[in-house]
Structure formats: C-alpha cells, structure tokens
Amino acid sequence: MARLKPCPTDNATDNETDNATGNAIDIKQPFNTMQTTHYTLKLSNGHGWHIIAGKQAAPWVNRLATIMELKRSELNGYPKLIFLDKDEDVGEALFTGLNMTDMPGSGWRLHDLKWLHFYSHDDVPDKICRFGNADTHGLDIVRMWQALHPIYERALGDGGLPFHAGLAAWNGKGVLFAAAGGTGKSTCCRRLPPPWKALGDDETLVVKDTHGTYAAHPFPTWSEYLFQRSEKTWDVEQHVPLSALFFLEQAERDEVLRIGTGQASVSITESSTQICRRDWRYLDKKEEVRRKTMLFDNACTLAKEVPSYILRVSLTGEFWKLIEEVVASH
C-alpha cells in the first residue's frame, strides 16, 4: 500500500512504489486555488463517472472529453476519475490543488499500465490516474484508450462487457457487429441505409442494469486518431437496448444462422477479450485470472438473455434485410 506522496518515476516498480516511505499528506493544509476541469460520463444503468483533471492534465482531458462528447459538470456523487500529469505531485494536487479532502491519504494501490498509472483504494470507488512518459501523438492516443480501463472494469463488475464490435440501431433497437479487425465491421456499418443508424464501428460497451436489461453505448474508434484519419467524435452516453449480437463472417452470399448459448458464450468471450487483454498484460496472474473468470461468467449470462447469430456477409448483398427480419421477430 502506498501513501499519496510525490509519484514514482516511470522506472519505479510496483514493489518500490508500495514500499516507498515519506511524509503523509496533510489533508488539512489550506486550499490553494487551482483551475480544474470537470466532466460527467453517465451510463444507461444509472452508473457513471465524474472526470476531473489537474491543471497540467486539463488539455489532454479536454481532448478526450471532446472525442467522447462529454459535458462539463460539477461534482455529482459519481465516483471520481482524476487525471494528473506526470509532473504533478499526486498528494499536493489532490488535497491542496483539487481540495479532495474526502479521499484517504494512504492505502492506495498502484496499477501500472505503462503509459498510465492508476491508483485504487479499497475504501472508495474513486480512481486516480497519472500519466506515464508518452510524448508522441501515438502514445497520447494510447493513453486515451487506456483511460477507459476503470470504466470497463466497473462495467464488468456490474455484469456488463466491452466488445470489439460495431453498434447500429434500427427502430430503436441495437445490434452488435462483432469481429476481429479487418473482417468487415466498419464496412457493414457504412453500408447500412436509412432508417438504420450506425452509432460506432469498432468498440462498444454493453452495460447491465439492476433489472437484468442490457443496453449498448458506442465508444471511440481510436484508430481514427492513432492514424490521423479523421476527427470523428462519439456520443458515448447515447445508448440503445441490445436486441441481438451478430458475429461476422465474409461470404459469397448473405446468411443469418442462430447459434446456441454455448457457442455464443465463447464468441462473446473472444470479442470482449480482444478489448480487455490490452490491459490484462499488466496485471499480476491472480488478478488476471479473476478478470477472465468474471468476463466469462458475464458472457455466459448475456448469451442466455440476448440471442446471437452468425452473420455471413457478401460484398453486394442487402444483409440488413436479414437482420431486420430477426430483430422484428423478437
């Protein structure tokens, strides 16, 4: 466990951080005004995050918020996700600059994702994130990708799953197009005619509410920014009830095949793992096994509640008509 004191350098190991010594932060020191940035992310299951940036991290957080179409807000009771630049002292920024005197001054655990350092605590749901050394455009985008780690982690704990999948809506119902890269998610989303609406073409967060209902949120296609192809934005708070999952295959003719819950569980697990494994590599073995088990359990439950299909798609067919027949029958 670590006290919130000056952060370790990027060369420090988890063990060095957890065993670091130093003076505890005095949370009663006078409030020193610091310009801060606040945004809210609200999810359809009633959960959300209050996103806060320290002064030096504000430009980066502003850009992240623009991409995800987040709205500025004041403190609202949601768990806090606090971003700090690598040169900002964690303790000083939190307790003096941001006046977060309700947060513990010790007992924090470091989760090092290389380009981002997350701090978590058993007594509070808040997360602190400090940047690692990433001064290139590409690594800056990777940090934004990794910034979703606590959002996805909490969604998993609530029974949800992130998917490597496009999201589209028809008559108020949402469907996922799940596939590995290069299989045709983006192409399928582009080909959909009105009144279909493509909400996202690469990454989707499915959340589960207390009634066992699933809804899907579109999340950014980070490759658009990584390769500087566009300046697209995604309204991540927008959501649609999840009606069906389609696992894409390229084919000579269009065809839809219903699959059983066993095969669906495996396919759902594979799609979600494609998103989650980018952070799993930085976890210890015990925590990695725990996350994988939780993901598989969630996949099995989802497979029982929402129908899954193989969608074979040709280059010229009107595959969406087959989907409409399926969705209309639910």
Q: Quote the pLDDT of residue 213.
A: 95
Query: Does 267 share its domain with 210?
Result: yes
Q: Residue 79: is its pLDDT beyond 70?
A: yes
Query: Does 141 share its domain with 281?
Result: no
Q: Residue 56: is its pLDDT beyond 50?
A: yes
- Count the Cβ atoms, other than its own, within 10 Å of residue 88: 22
Query: Does 37 share its domain with 138?
Result: yes
Query: Does 197 share its domain with 309?
Result: yes
The enclosing domain of 286 has a CATH number of 3.90.228.20
- Whether 167 maps to a domain, the answer reads yes
Q: Quote the pLDDT of residue 31.
A: 31
How far is Cα 187 from Cα 181, in angstroms, rounded to an integer?
Answer: 11
Query: Does 65 share its domain with 207?
Result: no
Q: Judge whether 17 and 128 are in contact, CB under 8 Å.
A: no
- Whether 295 maps to a domain, the answer reads yes
Q: Residue 243: is its pLDDT beyond 50?
A: yes
Residue ending a domain, among 147, 172, 199, is 147
291 CB-side CA count, 13 A: 24
- Count the Cβ atoms, other than its own, within 10 Å of residue 108: 25
Q: Quote the pLDDT of residue 154.
A: 94
Domain of 250, in residue numbers: 161-328
The rounded percent of the chain whose pLDDT value lies above 90 is 62
- Whether 155 maps to a domain, the answer reads no
Q: Residue 22: is its pLDDT beyond 60?
A: no
Instruction: Return the SS3 of 323.
Output: helix
Query: Does 30 share its domain with 143?
Result: yes
- Whether 244 maps to a domain, the answer reads yes
Higher pLDDT, 96 or 122: 122
Q: Residue 209: is its pLDDT beyond 60?
A: yes
Q: What is the mean pLDDT of residues 27-33?
A: 32
Q: What is the mean pLDDT of residues 23-32?
A: 32
Query: Does 106 share its domain with 208?
Result: no
Residue ending a domain, among 147, 182, 209, is 147
Q: Quote the pLDDT of residue 30.
A: 31
How far is Cα 279 from Cα 141, in angstroms, rounded to an integer?
Answer: 15
Query: Does 111 share its domain with 167?
Result: no
Number of separate domains in the chain: 2
pLDDT interval class at 1 (50, 70, 90): low
Q: What is the mean pLDDT of residues 105-123?
A: 86
- Whether 3 maps to a domain, the answer reads no
Residue ending a domain, among 115, 147, 179, is 147
Q: Residue 100: is its pLDDT beyond 80?
A: no
Query: Does 62 share its domain with 137?
Result: yes
Query: Does 132 share its domain with 241?
Result: no
Burial code (b: 16+ CB inside 10 Å, e: under 16) for 183-194 equals: bbbbbbbebbee
Lowest mean pLDDT among 94-98, 134-138, 223-227, 269-273: 94-98
Query: Does 34 share its domain with 120?
Result: yes
- Whether 315 maps to a domain, the answer reads yes
Mean pLDDT of the chain: 86
Q: Residue 173: is its pLDDT beyond 70?
A: yes
- Whether 9 maps to a domain, the answer reads no
pLDDT interval class at 180 (50, 70, 90): confident
Q: Quote the pLDDT of residue 32.
A: 37
Q: Quote the pLDDT of residue 2.
A: 52
The rounded percent of the chain whose pLDDT value lies above 70 is 85
Task: Report the Cα 95 to chain-centroid distance in Å.
Answer: 27
Query: Does 87 share its domain with 213?
Result: no
Q: Residue 253: is its pLDDT beyond 80?
A: yes
